[in-house]
Structure 1
């Protein structure tokens, strides 16, 4: 009898540990170099490498799930995945519904890009991705906000004349500079508290694990090395 009870306890513990160690990482897959889909149809980019490393450090088995940006928080809350690691800035508004780890990327500059060096950024039409802090900033700036589902759509809107400029994370806009006359215009705008991993407020143990791993990577310099790999030697890093 004792052996049966012990065996059942071990099996129950093993099952619980296995379940706890499987974490579904939610991302967009359309925001390079943070995250994108490679030629093999797999999630790639800075956040894929970082997420896999954090999971390895904490002994977690992580799988990757892609989701459209405009519903990425609702689908986290409904349980379709366990984290959001998708270039999501930490803001007070988002913190009302979800929790965040400490930042794994410093507060980054947002920037405007246009085909017209003399574009009116206050009175014109400015494209931004739906549900981003950049879209909220444009709406408050006096310009006419044109929202689109993806970053690529915002770029296309400027190139086809639907918008006068695009406003987005500067790092995400860099690959488009010099293409079809697209150039940075105006001044950079700092927004948000940095980029962190989003989690449900109830997942405190998982948050603690990721915070621990991020702290270790900051301390040994490996996080800064990874940032420079994807964003260049002049990228913002942690002191």
Structure 2
């Protein structure tokens, strides 16, 4: 009986070790082209392709987990997954709560989109909850209208709830192009954030070091820039 118990304990320990080597990659799955769910029901997009390559270079086994944006940091801290790759800009406020790798996407512009070039950017502005764009709108004195998902912010402009939406320009470009003139960019681009990085718990220093090294290797050999151009076009900001 003791031998059976010891064997079971050994198996449990082995399973625990295997589980510990699987890194759970958290993403929203609703912010194309950064991340989205494809027709097969799988996580896809720039961050899926990048994340898989980073895991390969870091010699880690990874699996993908989706989570709503508004609880994506709390659920990282509670252990539901081990990283966040979800178009998350590096900001001092977030850096007080979680840690970040070096950026895998350079600082890029945010932009306003509306149904008219004469839209009032001091009026009602839609933005996704918990984003740097929402914080910026609140600081400008405009009326902030927050939504849980990016698609809802676009719909708010289309149905007249909001005068404009403020979001990452890379997210907005394909939406404007596919709107057949219904949506237009308004005003000047707005530089926000310190680039996009992978979020981790502050205690996971070894994991951060592995991903930092993998990101740096992709910068050094040019493959990260190639991936940026593949998903965001030749005119996107590069390292």
TM range (shorter): over 0.9
- Tell me whether 170-179 or 192-201 shows the greater mean CA deviation: 170-179
Which secondary structure does the structure 2 equivalent of 1:145 belong to?
Answer: strand
Quote the Cα distance in structure 1 between the aligned partners of 2:113 and 2:195: 21
| Distance (whole Å) between structure 2 residues aligned to residue 226 and residue 35 of structure 1 | 14
The corresponding residue for 2:160 is 161
1:114 alignment counterpart: 114
Q: What is the CA-CA distance between 1:181 and the residue it aligns to?
A: 1.3
Q: Trace 1:1-239 onto structure 2 (pairs within 5 A).
A: 18-122=18-122, 124-178=123-177, 179=179, 181-238=182-239
Deviation per CA, 1:25-77, whole angstroms, max 9, x where unpaired? 00000000000000000000000000000001111110100000000000000
Deviations 1:186-230 (A, max 9, x none): 000111110000000000000000000000000000000000000
Secondary structure (helix, strand or coil) at the match of 1:192 reads coil
- Give the deviation of 1:17 after TM superposition: 5.0
d(CA) in 1 for partners of 2:120, 2:160? 14
2:4 aligned partner: none
- CA displacement, residues 89-127 of structure 1 (integer Å, 9 cap, x when unaligned): 0000001100000000000100000001011112x1000
Runs of 4+ in 1 over 4 A off after TM superposition: 10-17
Partner SS state of residue 62, structure 1: strand
Distance 1:200 1:139 in 2: 28
Distance between the aligned counterparts of 2:68 and 2:135, measured in 1? 18
Q: TM-score, normalised by structure 2?
A: 0.92
Mapped to 2, the partners of 1:185 and 1:177 lie a distance apart of 11
SS at match of 1:175: helix
SS at match of 1:229: helix
Structure 1 residues without counterparts, runs of 5 or longer: 1-6
User: Aligned pair count?
Assistant: 230
Q: Distance in 2 between matches of 1:28 and 1:197?
A: 13
3-state SS of the aligned residue for 1:39?
coil
**1:21 Cα shift?**
2.0
Counterpart-to-counterpart distance in 1, 2:50 and 2:17: 23
Tell me how far apart the structure 1 counterparts of residues 143 and 171 of structure 2 sit (CA, whole Å).
22
Distance 1:12 1:101 in 2: 32
Structure 2 unpaired stretches of 5+ = 1-6
Q: TM-score by structure 1 length?
A: 0.92
Describe the SS at the equivalent of 1:177.
helix
Please tell me the root mean square deviation across aligned C-alpha atoms, in Å.
1.8
Contact 1:21 1:59 in 2 (8 A): no
